[in-house]
Amino acid sequence: AQKITQTQPGMFVQEKEAVTLDCTYDTSDPSYGLFWYKQPSSGEMIFLIYQGSYDQQNATEGRYSLNFQKARKSANLVISASQLGDSAMYFCAMREGYAGNNRKLIWGLGTSLAVNP
Amino acid sequence: EAGVAQSPRYKIIEKRQSVAFWCNPISGHATLYWYQQILGQGPKLLIQFQNNGVVDDSQLPKDRFSAERLKGVDSTLKIQPAKLEDSAVYLCASSLGGGPAKTQYFGPGTRLLVL
C-alpha cells in the first residue's frame, strides 16, 4: 500500500491566487515527520516546510502553510499568492519514528504545478 | 551557510563506461544521502551514511554501484559499468542527524545520461 499519496498529477493556478496540493499518508507509528519539497526544472530539491506528528499548530513558512489534519492523515500544502516562480514539481514525504537513525524518507509521486500569468 | 555541493552537474557517457559523482554536505551535517531520481518519479534512496559508516544501502545495486565517505565529510558515488537504465538525476542530501524531524537539504543534483 502507498504510504504517501499525492492524487493530483498536475495542477494549474492563476498568478496571485492560492492553491492547495493534496497529500495523504499512511502510518501506524505515532511519531513521524511530514515534509514538502519543491523541485523546479533545474532539478534541485528545495525544502519548503515541515510538520511533526506531535505539533499542535499547523506549520507555516512565508507563503507556504501546511493544513495538517491528523485524524484524516492528510498534510496538504497551501501556497498563497502564487507566483510564476512557483511552477515546479512538489513532493510530499514522510519519515517515521524515532527508533534508530536509518528511517527512510518515503516519497509521494509528486504534483506538477503550473502558474499561469 | 553554504549548501550541499555536487559535481559534475551534467554527465553523458556510453553504456559500460564508468562514472563518479562527488558531494560535499553542509558543514557539520553527520548524515549524508545519495538518491537516484528517474524522470517522473520521486527520489529513491541508494545509500545513507552516518559520519563515515553506512546505515542503509539496501537499495544500492552493489554489483555496479559503490559509494564511500572515508573521512565522514564529502562522498563519492561510482557506477561501473553504467547501463542505459542508470540515466537519472543523482541527488545528494545531508542532515544534522537521522531522526524524523531532521530536515534533509539537497544539492543541485547530477543529471546522468547513458547512451
- In this complex, do A44 and B98 lie within 8 Å of one another by their Cβ atoms? no
Q: Specify the amino acid at residue B86.
A: D
Q: Which of A99, A1, A100, A103 is nearest to B58 (CA)?
A: A103
Q: Could you tell me the three cell numbers for A99?
A: 527508533
B-chain residue closest to A54, CA distance: B101
Q: Percent helix, strand and coil across chain B, each rounded to 5?
A: 5, 50, 50
Note the pLDDT tens digit of each residue in A14-30: 999 999 999 999 998 88
Q: How much is the pLDDT for A60?
A: 95
- Chain B residues touching residue A93 (CB < 8 angstroms): 42
On whether any CB of chain B is under 8 Å from the CB of A3, the answer is: no
- In this complex, do A44 and B93 lie within 8 Å of one another by their Cβ atoms? no
pLDDT tops 60 at residue A100: no
Written as one string, the DSSP assignment of B58-91 is TTS-TTTEEEE-TTSS-EEEEESS--GGG-EEEE
On whether any CB of chain B is under 8 Å from the CB of A45, the answer is: yes
Q: How much is the pLDDT for B21?
A: 97
pLDDT averaged over every residue in chain A: 91
Q: What Rg do the C-alpha atoms of chain B give, in angstroms?
A: 13
- In this complex, do A101 and B103 lie within 8 Å of one another by their Cβ atoms? no
Distance to chain B for A74, nearest Cα, Å: 17
Q: Could you tell me the three cell numbers for B46?
A: 541508494
Q: Please give the average per-residue pLDDT across A1-20, as a whole number.
A: 92
Note the pLDDT tens digit of each residue in A24-54: 999 988 888 899 999 999 888 999 999 999 9
- In this complex, do A105 and B97 lie within 8 Å of one another by their Cβ atoms? no
Closest Cβ–Cβ partner in B42, B55, B105 for A91: B42
Closest Cβ–Cβ partner in B42, B93, B98 for A102: B98
Calpha distance A23→A8 (Å, rounded): 9
Give pairs for B60-67: CB < 8 Å, separation 24+. Answer: B67/B34
Q: How much is the pLDDT for A114?
A: 97
Please, which pLDDT band fits residue A5 given cuts at 50, 70 and 90? very high
Q: What Rg do the C-alpha atoms of chain A give, in angstroms?
A: 14
Calpha distance A34→A50 (Å, rounded): 6
From first to last of the 115 residues of chain B, give the pLDDT tens digit.
Answer: 689 999 999 999 999 999 999 999 999 998 999 999 998 888 999 999 988 899 889 999 999 999 999 888 999 999 999 999 999 999 999 988 766 567 889 999 999 999 9
Calpha distance A83→A91 (Å, rounded): 18
B77, B46 Cβ separation under 8 angstroms:
yes
Q: Please give the average per-residue pLDDT across A69-95, as a whole number.
A: 96
Other Cβ atoms closer than 10 A to A109: 16
